[in-house]
A and B are shown apart, each in its own frame.
Chain A
Amino acid sequence: MSADPSLILDGREIPFVPGQTILQAADDAGVYIPRLCDKPGLEPFGSCRVCVVRANGRTVSSCTYPASLGMVVESETPELQAMRKVLLEMLFVEGNHFCMSCEKSGHCELQALGYRFGITAPQFEYQFPHREVDASHPDILIDHNRCILCARCVRTSRDLDGKEVFGFVGRGPHKRLAASTGSRLKDTNADVTDRAIDACPVGALLRKRVGFAVPVGQRPYDTVPIGAPEPVQEARR
């Protein structure tokens, strides 16, 4: 074993910096662990559970669980992949995700993970919830049909934009994203240049009037699958 601290991820020894999470250590080592609510630059959140791994036999979210010396982590096992697939399928059926007419198609992390996991049709019944579109802001639109409650916009607005434009209301299945003012987005200080708009992994938070500007074939996930190894990404860029 080398002098630097390291852990074992799927049989491979990878180094980590003390204080890093398992996910961060894996990223630094070029090993992809699927995730949705995690985003570089934001504090770990651990809500989507797609980054689930088994660490020293315990099932944990790798985005929040600290790496430790000699830890044995399993990620690409059939059991964990099946768990991730179920989580993704649940996200698809909980909302109204109509990829065929969504402007985020080809840019959407949920859709890209759906392809990665070979989800052709969910095993659960669609819930077809009734959800609203908040188009009140002149330049930004919230389509609640597609929100997966990852809180990336909430955290980005608070931690990077310094605004707290977004928050959550309701509990359990009734939980939903809301303007932090409690009313509509037009009543907040949200601005089209906010980094929070780009934080959304799906098509829930959108800049208005720019949809479909990128042709099919040139969208990010048209050419490079999500989680592709760095050499593949380089080759296809």
Chain B
Amino acid sequence: MEATSGRRIVIEPVTRVEGHGKVTILLDAEGHVERARFHVVEFRGFERFIQGRPYWEVPVAVQRLCGICPVSHHLCAAKAMDRIVGGEKLTPTAEKMRRLMHYGQTFQSHALHFFHLASPDLLFGFGSDVNARHVLGIAAKFPDLARQGILMRKYGQEIIRLTAGKKVHGTGAIPGGINKNLSLAERDLLLQDLAQMKDWARATVQLARDYTLAHIDMLGGFGSFPSNHMCLVRADGALDLYDGGLRAVDAQGRTIFDHVDPQRYLDFIAEEVKPWSYMKFPFIKSLGPEHGWYRVGPLSRISACSFIDTPLAEAARQEFMQVAGGKPSAVTMAYHWARMIELLHAVEKIDELLHDRDLQGTDLVVKGERRGEAVAIIEAPRGTLFHHYKVDENDQVTMANLIVSTTSNNEPMNRAVESVARQFLDGVEITEGLLNHVEVAIRAYDPCLSCATHALGQMPLDVQVVDAAGQVVGRRVKGSKER
């Protein structure tokens, strides 16, 4: 990135995120930030080309939206198809296998994001030397941490392999159930490294906590703002990443709605389209588009759930909430701490499940009364994920609507980008290090831009600075010499 004298700066692509996006920063004649936007410029296609396909193909097909957390789409689509075949009351073996798959993917995805994508900013500094500010820099300076990140991700991937058949893009979940159980040999393989994973997960929560608390004054003003939050919760209010009802709370933690049946999501959520992004802007209907935007993902889940049903993660959540004053945290960068609390929760749940003999059961699939329409919601690593399908009498999909977590975080990410741009880029000579501050704010959300637009094609990020007359005066494109 080159410093620019500024009227329009383009950061393209935003790096260390999944997908292809860009940022444009508009400066006025005096060089003050007038507006900053985060655009997702990938093409949207899955909702269209899944039409006409047989419903049992959908869980395997739509997971190709993503390579980092395809299990979320696989399971969410499978949950929707459970309802299509009247098999939503899964057998214990099927539900626990799916949960194990989901906790495995949450574990690997959160480890990937923290160690590979975010840690260079946190450990080296947002404006540190770009030549070292990457995962190889981490490997050189903190080799134990880098190794730990890789092995934690590997562990999650192994769980996915043993539940879905493959580490990426498996086929385990089928309408009404699962196509395999976990053999004793497979279970024992996973038990071998479990204690190590739990130790590392605890240490990682500590690392994220210590970082947040050590920098809390700076982070409190870094792209932070109060917001509504939304997530799934269990019937008793516990954090549940796999299933439950929708809960939304406001910035004070007051309930907006609670235990909403996923089938009724359209009564509570709507989407707005804006001309400059392929991503829609969802909002809570009762509050309208201006005030109804909300955040999803780890920060929202930890803030909005009543409790966590695993002891270590619950203790960590309580401390998190204490720091936040007992209400949802406004600190965008606290996403990292919240994410690591979930990482710990995931491995605690994995521990529970691996000791549950239901995983060796042989009753794998149930079916009941056929339906023509179904909605499913799951908590993907990046936040609440909606899949909505209609299927005709010939078993072919006629309608698909997906609202992914990054779409829900669209407005918050734009606000974070604008806030950071105003704070760090206003009236100063713009450097790569300063522009990275904008990317740091985006990375806090761990966005998946290919999921968000159900993309076809490549995925790089683009940041632009535009002057008052609309002229591009600065630009940065990932993987390109274009400036």
Contact = CB atoms under 8 A, between A and B. Distances in A.
A209 B395 contact: yes
Interface in A212-236: 212-218
Interface stretch (B172-180, B229-237, B427-435): B172-180
A210 to B, nearest CB: 8
- The SS class assigned to the B binding surface is loop
Interface in A97-146: 100-103, 133, 135-136, 141
Given A133-B52, A135-B54, A209-B56, A216 B394 contact: no
Contacts of A182: none
B56 A101 contact: no
B86 to A, nearest CB: 12
Contacts of B172: 215
Given A212-B171, A215-B180, A216-B166, A136 B394 contact: yes
B187 to A, nearest CB: 16
Contacts of B52: 133
Interface in B52-75: 52-54, 56-57, 59-61, 64
> Counting chain A CB atoms within 10 Å of each CB, which of B54, B59, B180 scores highest?
B54
Given A215-B179, A216-B165, A103 B396 contact: no
B174 A213 contact: yes
A146 B52 CA distance: 15
A208 B165 contact: no
B169 interface: yes
B116 to A, nearest CB: 25
B372 interface: no
Nearest to A210: B56
A211 interface: yes
A101 B395 contact: no
Contacts of A136: 394
A211 B53 CA distance: 12
Contacts, number: 59
B127 interface: no
Interface string B365-400: 100000000000000000000000000001110000
A8 to B, nearest CB: 44
B92 interface: no
Interface in B30-84: 52-54, 56-57, 59-61, 64
Contact of B56 (A100, A103, A217, A218): A103
> Counting chain B CB atoms within 10 Å of each CB, which of A103, A133, A212, A213 scores highest?
A212
> Counting chain A CB atoms within 10 Å of each CB, which of B64, B85, B165 scores highest?
B165
Given A208-B54, A216-B170, A101 B179 contact: no
A135 B179 contact: no
B56 A211 contact: yes
Contacts of A133: 52-54, 396
A221 to B, nearest CB: 14
Contacts of A102: 57
A135 B394 contact: yes
Given A100-B64, A100-B169, A101-B64, A212 B56 contact: yes
A50 B173 CA distance: 36
A141 B396 CA distance: 10
Given A211-B54, A215-B165, A135 B60 contact: no
A14 to B, nearest CB: 39
A103 B57 CA distance: 7
Nearest to B178: A215
Contact of A141 (B54, B61, B166, B170): B54
A133 B180 CA distance: 29
Interface in B164-208: 164-166, 169-172, 174-175, 179-180
> Counting chain B CB atoms within 10 Å of each CB, which of A133, A208, A209, A217 scores highest?
A209
Given A100-B169, A102-B57, A133-B54, 16 more contacts: A100-B61, A100-B64, A101-B57, A101-B64, A208-B56, A208-B395, A209-B56, A211-B57, A212-B56, A212-B174, A212-B179, A215-B180, A216-B164, A216-B165, A216-B166, A217-B165
14 contacts: A100-B64, A101-B57, A103-B56, A133-B396, A135-B54, A135-B396, A206-B54, A208-B395, A211-B54, A211-B56, A211-B174, A213-B365, A215-B172, A216-B164
